[in-house]
Structure 1
Amino acid sequence: MEPTTRPRPGRRARARDLGIVIGEFAPGPLDAITDVPGVRVGHATVRRPPGVHSGVTAVVPGTVGPHAPLPAGVFTGNGYGKLIGTTQLTELGTLETPVLLTSTLSAFRVADALVGWMLERPGCGEVRSLNPVVGECNDGYLSDIRARPVREEHVRAALDQASGGPVAEGCVGAGTGTGALGFKAGIGTSSRTTDLGGRPYTAGVLVQANFGGTLRVLGRPVTPRSLGLTGAPGPAAETGSCMIVVATDAPLDARRLGRVARRAVFALARTGAAYSHGSGDYALAFATRPDSGPLVADSELSPLFEAVMDAVEEAVLNSLLAATTTTGRAGHTLPALPADRLLDALAGRDPGRPG
């Protein structure tokens, strides 16, 4: 059956609101990374139209710190990017700070601010080494990236205001100035629940989408032109990136989480990603409850792999559906993905015409 549910006026619909269901696993209650117990998300949006559309997003595991590191794995699909903290994370397989996402040239200021914030946390009074983890996407098509507008106060606001519950998506935080697959994109999230070895677990993902290619929805190509949208072309296909953060409450070690992270990057192919020369495609996966039971056997991980891939595909689509048309630096514009025309296209009707 084709998805047919129309969005309510004045409200940007998520994929499931439109009847677009990806995969067979059920989402968590919020269909968000915050369905994983203890995970919080915060945003600080920096917008000074027309030239600045940027920000920072914080994914905060509940107990993370240098004295309580969490097992984590990372996978690089294409390494044209600045994922700060990668080498130590890969070497030790542990995450000891929240994961922050931002704009490319602001990543270094964000890392410094994250270190300052962490040193003030309880139990960190004697810390002399810390590995901040900060990912980035290039929002320079819409935003004055050279201004490096994201500063310490924005980082602290995102961290201090991080909370559970519904996650704001689209043009917010690190997604304020990003675009993907020909449309305005941004932050997107989704989750899945699945059984591993007879026990229920949750996996949640959050994406900062900013990559090239041709959008595919339920396997069908969708372009601005096919939806009847006109205007100047977007950024070159050779530019972009995607940062993916995966959280799970399943008992996994760093090696297994590395396998999960690989599947998260693989899932971008389902959405139409081009994996171009200039795209930095990264996934970081961490476990919030590594001591909750025996490690899940490798032979039992397949349902989790599939669940994560489904969640990434839906999160990218949510990032597009939640975003709004944005005009930024030098008059550059990225159009929103119109839900009504998308549904027409998926149903085989001429987009924008009554059917």
Structure 2
Amino acid sequence: MQEPRRCRELGIVVGTMPTGPLNAVTDVPGVRVGHTTLVEGDSIRTGVTAIVPDQLTDRRSLPAGLFVGNGHGKMVGSTQVAELGEIETPVVLTATLSTFRAADGLLTYMLGQPGREAAESLNPVVAETNDGFLSDIRARPVREEHVLGALAEASGGLPAEGAVGAGTGTTALGFKAGIGTSSRLATTSRGTVTVGVLVQANFSGVLQVSGVPVRPEQVGVPVPPPPSRPEPPGNSCVIVVATDGRLDARQLGRVARRAVFAMGRVGSDFAGGSGDYGLAFSTAGVETPNVPESDLEPIFAVVLEAVEEALLNSLFMARTTAGFKGRVKYAVPHDRMLDLLRTHRVDLQA
């Protein structure tokens, strides 16, 4: 069985902008990521992923922007984010039918935080994709302790990627996918701005790597016959963008929009049955100078690159997974994919 490798370990370099030290969302100071992975018997392949901004320890909220590419999904708390332009909790990702239990677990966590003893209203932000191909989604196995576990183990190191946490059972573009992350540094007139991205990939289309279509049959992956009652394409993608640049809610909404646009760079067909969400937030302190509108272009550029790379990492870091009803979803075979890229004269970095 092949070992998971990130884009750059495979010689695939996305774009031209520099990455942060970890090339991860945790390059944004104060942002931590934790997972709870649930693999039980032959039918449960799911979990929880938490993105935790430490700045919420001292602040009631952080500015945020939301963009809905296609709204066939569930995102608890989205209307308040859109209305007020802020998040007041960590962001939790899970499976579709576990969204609501996860939201209750996140509330338990927040109500237990110092300074929240008298809180009577909180807006938990929980998003999902549908991992029902590999996991018995109707079992709703995610419980409060799984959410609390992901929050408790969140760290600032390189997050685990691939088939972990909320990505344990997800698939994308014909292959096994999962969680992916990346980061970029943008140069603005106010200095360097760090942009970090984490994705939960679970959407349809034809994989594109460096502009080359990579179909399962081209790289030796078995393609099962279509079912007698085919399910609609789609099943969603959640993209969380963090930045230490001081952007307001409107600007962050523009950033979130570019994050969803970047799905097209890896081959998304933007199916009508998909829930494609971009959520961007800023960790910058109030003393940090505002990023002027004229400096948004380099930030837009790095968001596109970081999301593209994070989505590819979500695929290349995944392992072939068997699950519910004996179904199997195969990881992208690295060597065969690289051979295909070479035939198209893609410049792979040694």
Shorter-chain TM range is over 0.9
> Structure 1 128/262 Cα, relative in aligned 2: closer, same or farther at 3 Å?
same
Aligned to 1:225: 217
Task: Give the CA deviation at 1:49.
Answer: 3.0
Aligned to 1:85: 77
Distance in structure 2 (CA, Å) of the matches to 1:277 and 1:11: 34
Task: Give the CA deviation at 1:25.
Answer: 0.5
Alignment of 1:236-255 (within 5 A): 236=231, 238-255=233-250
Q: Percent identity, aligned pairs only? A: 57
Distance in structure 2 (CA, Å) of the matches to 1:161 and 1:141: 28
Distance in structure 1 (CA, Å) of the matches to 2:291 and 2:222: 50
The one of 109, 126, 131 equivalent to 2:118 is: 126
Q: Given residue 29 of structure 2, which amino acid in structure 1 is its aligned partner?
A: P
Aligned to 1:201: 193
Contact kept, 8 Å, 1:57 with 1:100, in 2: the verdict is yes
Q: Deviations over 1:35-61 (max 9, x none)?
A: 000000000001113100000000000
Aligned to 1:147: 139
Contact kept, 8 Å, 2:217 with 2:223, in 1: the verdict is no
Q: 2:61 aligned with 1:69, yes or no?
A: yes
**Matched pairs, number:** 341
Contact kept, 8 Å, 2:94 with 2:129, in 1: the verdict is yes
> Structure 1 81/276 Cα, relative in aligned 2: closer, same or farther at 3 Å?
same
The one of 159, 182, 188 equivalent to 2:180 is: 188
Contact kept, 8 Å, 1:43 with 1:172, in 2: the verdict is yes
Indicate the larger mover: 196-205 or 109-118.
196-205
> Structure 1 207/233 Cα, relative in aligned 2: closer, same or farther at 3 Å?
farther
Contact kept, 8 Å, 2:45 with 2:168, in 1: the verdict is yes
SS in 1 for 2:218: coil
Task: Give the CA deviation at 1:110.
Answer: 0.3
> Structure 1 10/221 Cα, relative in aligned 2: closer, same or farther at 3 Å?
closer
Aligned to 2:258: 263
> Structure 1 212/237 Cα, relative in aligned 2: closer, same or farther at 3 Å?
farther
SS in 2 for 1:17: helix
Aligned to 2:93: 101
Distance in structure 2 (CA, Å) of the matches to 1:118 and 1:43: 18
Distance in structure 2 (CA, Å) of the matches to 1:290 and 1:71: 10
SS in 2 for 1:291: coil
Distance in structure 1 (CA, Å) of the matches to 2:195 and 2:287: 15
Task: Give the CA deviation at 1:66.
Answer: 9.3
Runs of 4+ in structure 1 over 6 Å off: none
SS in 2 for 1:167: coil
Q: Which consecutive unaligned segments of at least 5 residues does structure 2 have?
A: 345-350
Distance in structure 2 (CA, Å) of the matches to 1:328 and 1:18: 27
SS in 2 for 1:12: coil
SS in 1 for 2:193: strand
Aligned to 1:297: 292
Task: Give the CA deviation at 1:11.
Answer: 3.1
Contact kept, 8 Å, 2:162 with 2:313, in 1: the verdict is yes
Q: Given residue 222 of structure 2, which amino acid in structure 1 is its aligned partner?
A: T
Q: Deviations over 1:259-289 (max 9, x none)?
A: 0000000000001001111100001000001
SS in 1 for 2:235: strand
SS in 2 for 1:270: helix
Contact kept, 8 Å, 1:238 with 1:278, in 2: the verdict is yes
Distance in structure 2 (CA, Å) of the matches to 1:233 and 1:31: 38
Q: What is the CA RMSD across the aligned residues, in angstroms?
A: 1.5
Q: 2:324 aligned with 1:332, yes or no?
A: no
> Structure 1 10/331 Cα, relative in aligned 2: closer, same or farther at 3 Å?
closer
Task: Give the CA deviation at 1:68.
Answer: 2.2
Distance in structure 1 (CA, Å) of the matches to 2:223 and 2:243: 41
Distance in structure 2 (CA, Å) of the matches to 1:280 and 1:343: 31
> Structure 1 171/342 Cα, relative in aligned 2: closer, same or farther at 3 Å?
same
Distance in structure 1 (CA, Å) of the matches to 2:291 and 2:33: 27
Task: Give the CA deviation at 1:290.
Answer: 4.3
Distance in structure 1 (CA, Å) of the matches to 2:101 and 2:303: 31
> Structure 1 320/23 Cα, relative in aligned 2: closer, same or farther at 3 Å?
same
Q: Which consecutive unaligned segments of at least 5 residues does structure 1 have?
A: 1-8, 350-355
Contact kept, 8 Å, 1:66 with 1:130, in 2: the verdict is no
Q: Given residue 178 of structure 2, which amino acid in structure 1 is its aligned partner?
A: G
Task: Give the CA deviation at 1:231.
Answer: 3.9
Q: 2:22 aligned with 1:30, yes or no?
A: yes
Distance in structure 1 (CA, Å) of the matches to 2:192 and 2:225: 45
Q: Given residue 205 of structure 2, which amino acid in structure 1 is its aligned partner?
A: G
SS in 1 for 2:194: strand
Aligned to 2:273: 278
Distance in structure 2 (CA, Å) of the matches to 1:315 and 1:236: 27
Distance in structure 1 (CA, Å) of the matches to 2:59 and 2:292: 27
Aligned to 1:344: 339
Contact kept, 8 Å, 2:26 with 2:158, in 1: the verdict is yes
Task: Give the CA deviation at 1:291.
Answer: 1.9
Contact kept, 8 Å, 1:66 with 1:96, in 2: the verdict is no
Contact kept, 8 Å, 2:242 with 2:281, in 1: the verdict is yes
